[in-house]
Amino acid sequence: MSAVQEALDVSEAAGTSSEVPEAPERAVAADMARRSVLFAVPLLVGGALGWGWPGVLSVGLALALVLVNFGLGAAAIGWGARLGAGPLMAAALGGYVVRLGIVTAAVLPIRHHDWFELLPFAVSLIATHLGLLIVEARHVSASLAFPGLKPERSA
């Protein structure tokens, strides 16, 4: 069966074309949040072993910032996509700069507190961002028939 026929079968099974499709960027961001558990457990354990509670709190803050970062990115891209190509590009670039500012604004006021450790925070922030992007790249569909995540294989 061709990919076009599979896409037609899926669209017929989904119903009429007047239905609003699920936003693929939201599905990808939700899947990234679900997969973040793969990174959370080892990083939190590493933070606890190396730095105690300050390490755990710093790693937890980094993980929360990563999930907020990807969620805001998905929201910005979804907003821009509804408006057109120009606003989509502006939302992607402008949203990136704003999200970098949010990470910076979250770290600057707390960097000198006793409970904050910079090394586990930075390692967790970088490893989780890159790791989730690499892992998620295997699960994202590059097909117009299935925007967003690849469909699950049936047995």
pLDDT of residue 106: 93
**For residue 92, which of 80, 83, 105, 104 has the smallest C-alpha distance?**
80
Q: Is the pLDDT of residue 115 over 90?
A: yes
- Average the pLDDT over 113-125 and give the result: 95
Confidence band, pLDDT 50/70/90 cuts, at residue 69:
very high
Give the Cα separation of 152 and 17 in Å (integer).
22
13-56 pLDDT, tens digit each: 544 444 445 778 888 888 888 888 888 999 999 999 999 999 99
Weakest mean pLDDT among 43-52, 86-95, 135-144: 135-144
Share of the chain above pLDDT 70, in %: 77
pLDDT at 146 over 70: no
pLDDT of residue 145: 59
**pLDDT of 121 higher than 70:** yes
Round to whole Å and give the CA distance between 108 and 110: 6
Tell me the average pLDDT across 129-147.
77
At residue 65, does pLDDT exceed 90?
yes
